[in-house]
A = this chain, B = another copy of it.
Amino acid sequence: MDLANLQAAMRATYGDRDSSRGADSTFRWFTEEVGELARAIRTGDRANLELEFSDVAAWIASLANLLDVDLNEAVARYATGCPKCHRQPCACPI
């Protein structure tokens, strides 16, 4: 799924709720999902792990919608290598 499609899907499904709730509350939901992702990594439950990754991605898309950020444009800086050293693989000092 293209990031633009993910944002469009989240807008169509949750846009009104996200707007009513606002950015700070949506950020709180997002961090709740980050915690659930941490738990899924700890327990090693594969099915749950994929689900939690999807929830984190979905909530990032919702947050980006609320804050008028186009994720495709944002991530373009990573398309061809490291945005800092411009190399692929990255050659930045570790």
Contact = CB atoms under 8 A, between A and B. Distances in A.
- Copies of this chain: 2
A3 B78 contact: no
Contacts of A49: 67, 69
A50 B1 CA distance: 20
Interface residues of A, number: 53
Contact of A79 (B9, B14, B38, B80): B9
Nearest to A66: B41
Interface of A: 1-3, 5-6, 9-10, 12-17, 23-24, 27, 30-31, 34, 38, 41, 49-51, 53-54, 56-58, 60, 63-64, 67, 69-83, 87-90, 94
